[in-house]
Amino acid sequence: MTTSSYAVLALLNLRPWTGYELTQQAQRSLRYAWPKSERLLYSEPKKLVELGYATTHKEKSGNRSRNVYEITTEGREALGEWTRSRTQPPRIEIEVLLRLLFADHGSTKDLRRALDELEADIREHHDAIIELMASYLDGGHPFPERTHLSVLFATFQIEVFKTIERWIEFARHEIDDWPTTQDLRITPRTEALTRLLADDRHP
């Protein structure tokens, strides 16, 4: 049982889902905490069935069938064990920052473009989650009694996205002052901010 297995099990604990519905739900909300491929979301429930944590049956809509998955009592027990287990450390992959680290191999233009692309991605996520929250505040949550969880979760995402957007602005101003990507050693703006951030931590 991987974390992804538990994620699917936790969804099945709410109601029965078809494979396709699981992929859609993963895309709509899970992805902000646990981004996984569509492919995996089709595989996981099958594994749960093998382990006895879910049952499956085919449902027909016309000439086409789909697999419906339901949690079992053992599945609910397994979920309880997960809740009590140790958590995993967070993992943050930002390719654009990798490019920044090695930006002296390219031009300032390349670096600016990379930042613009990061900004577009973050903005997209930010907009999507703001919209989702707006619908939740209007009472549109699919499980109204669970709204408090989704909303607390969303405040995390929104605060992080805002921070990233602010940093991109800062970084853009900084880079605009660079004549080239190379040989600058340290610059006044980054030195000032770094000292501020460090003092803030160990005054």
Name the residue nearer to a second copy (CB basis): 39 or 91.
Answer: 91
Q: Exposed/middle/buried for 48, CB within 10 Å: 0-12, 13-18, 19+?
A: buried
Name the residue nearer to a second copy (CB basis): 38 or 121.
Answer: 121
* 52 scored as a contact of DNA (CB under 7 A): no
The C-alpha atoms of residue 110 and residue 118 are separated, in whole angstroms, by 12
* 73 scored as a contact of DNA (CB under 7 A): no
The first and second tokens of residue 135, run together, are 């619908």
Distance of closest approach, residue 180 Cβ to DNA, in angstroms? 30
User: In degrees, to the nearest 5, what angle opens at C-alpha 144 toward C-alphas 54 and 122?
Assistant: 85
Residue 128 partner contact from DNA, a second copy, none using kind-dependent CB cut-offs of 5 to 8 Å: none
Which of 1, 51, 100, 128 touches a second copy by CB under 8 A? 100
Q: What H or E segment, with its residue span, contains residue 71?
A: strand 64-71
Name the residue nearer to DNA (CB basis): 59 or 104.
Answer: 59
CB 66 within 8 A of CB 58: yes
* 98 scored as a contact of DNA (CB under 7 A): no
Residue 135 partner contact from a second copy, DNA, none using kind-dependent CB cut-offs of 5 to 8 Å: none
